[in-house]
Chain A
Amino acid sequence: DAGITQSPRHKVTETGTPVTLRCHQTENHRYMYWYRQDPGHGLRLIHYSYGVKDTDKGEVSDGYSVSRSKTEDFLLTLESATSSQTSVYFCATGTGASTDTQYFGPGTRLTVL
Chain B
Amino acid sequence: GENVEQHPSTLSVQEGDSAVIKCTYSDSASNYFPWYKQELGKGPQLIIDIRSNVGEKKDQRIAVTLNKTAKHFSLHITETQPEDSAVYFCAAKDFNKFYFGSGTKLNVKP
A: which residues have CB within 8 A of B?
1, 4, 31, 33, 40-45, 48, 50, 58-59, 90, 92, 96, 98-107
Per the bound structure, the CA–CA distance linking A58 and B94 in Å amounts to 12
Are B97 and A42 in contact, CB atoms less than 8 angstroms apart?
Answer: no
Are A106 and B100 in contact, CB atoms less than 8 angstroms apart?
Answer: no
Query: Chain B contacts of A31 at CB under 8 A?
Result: 96
Interface centre among B32, B96, B99 (most CB of A within 10 A): B96
Contact sample, A vs B, 10 pairs, CB 8 Å cutoff = A33-B98, A41-B102, A50-B96, A100-B32, A101-B32, A101-B34, A102-B98, A104-B43, A104-B44, A107-B41
Take A43-B89, A50-B96, A90-B43 as given contacts and tell me if A99 and B102 are in contact as well, using a CB distance cutoff of 8 Å.
no
Q: Is the interface of B mostly helix, strand, loop or mixed?
A: strand
Query: Chain B contacts of A58 at CB under 8 A?
Result: 97
Taking the closest CB of chain A, its distance from the CB of B27, in whole angstroms, is 13
Taking the closest CB of chain B, its distance from the CB of A80, in whole angstroms, is 27
Chain A, residue nearest B43 (CB): A104
Q: Does B46 contact A (CB under 8 A)?
A: yes
Are B98 and A45 in contact, CB atoms less than 8 angstroms apart?
Answer: yes
User: Per-residue CB proximity of B83-105 to A under 8 Å, as 1/0?
Assistant: 00000010001001111111100
Take A98-B31, A99-B31, A101-B49 as given contacts and tell me if A107 and B42 are in contact as well, using a CB distance cutoff of 8 Å.
yes
Are B96 and A48 in contact, CB atoms less than 8 angstroms apart?
Answer: yes
Q: Does B6 contact A (CB under 8 A)?
A: yes
Are A42 and B89 in contact, CB atoms less than 8 angstroms apart?
Answer: yes
Within 8 A of A (CB), among B51-86: 51
Taking the closest CB of chain A, its distance from the CB of B105, in whole angstroms, is 10
Chain B, residue nearest A4 (CB): B43
Within 8 A of A (CB), among B30-51: 31-32, 34, 36, 41-46, 49, 51
- CB-contact partner of A40 in B36, B89, B102, under 8 A: B102
8 closest A-B pairs (Cβ-Cβ)? A104-B43, A42-B100, A43-B100, A42-B102, A99-B32, A99-B51, A101-B46, A101-B34
